[in-house]
Amino acid sequence: VLRVYKAAVQQTLDILFLPEGREFLTSTDAVSRDSADRTIVAWDFQSAAKISNQIFHERYTCPSLTLHPKESVFVAQTNGNYMALFSAQRPYRINKKKRYEGHKVEGFAVGCEFSPDGTLLVTGSSDGKVFFYNYHTSRIIRTLSAHKEACVSAIFHPVLPSLLATCDWAGEIKIWQ
Q: Domain locations in the chain?
A: 12-176
Q: What is the DSSP string of 11-75?
A: -EEEEEEPGGGSEEEEEES---SS--TTSEEEEETTT--EEES-S--SS----EEEE-SSSSEEE
Q: Which of 145, 84, 151, 148 is CA-nearest to residue 123? A: 151
The pLDDT-based confidence of 1 (bands split at 50, 70, 90) is confident
Q: Which residues face 73 on adjacent strands?
A: 87
Tell me the pLDDT tens digit for each residue of 112-151.
999 999 999 999 999 999 999 999 999 999 999 999 999 9
Count of positions (residues) in the chain: 177
Residue-level pLDDT at 31: 55
C-alpha 21 chain-centroid distance:
18
Fold of 12-176: Methylamine Dehydrogenase; Chain H (2.130.10)
Taking 90 as the threshold, does the pLDDT of residue 36 lie above it? no
CA–CA distance, 81 with 85 (Å, rounded to integer): 14
Report percent pLDDT > 90 for the chain: 72
Give the CA distances from residue 80 to residues 76, 100, 156, 158, 162, in Å, rounded to whole numbers and listed in that order. 11, 11, 24, 29, 29
Q: Is 133 exposed, middle or buried (0-12, 13-18, 19+ CB in 10 A)?
A: buried
Contacts of 45 (CB under 8 A, 6+ apart): 3, 17, 21, 22, 23, 24
Nearest CA to 68 out of 138, 14, 118 is that of: 118
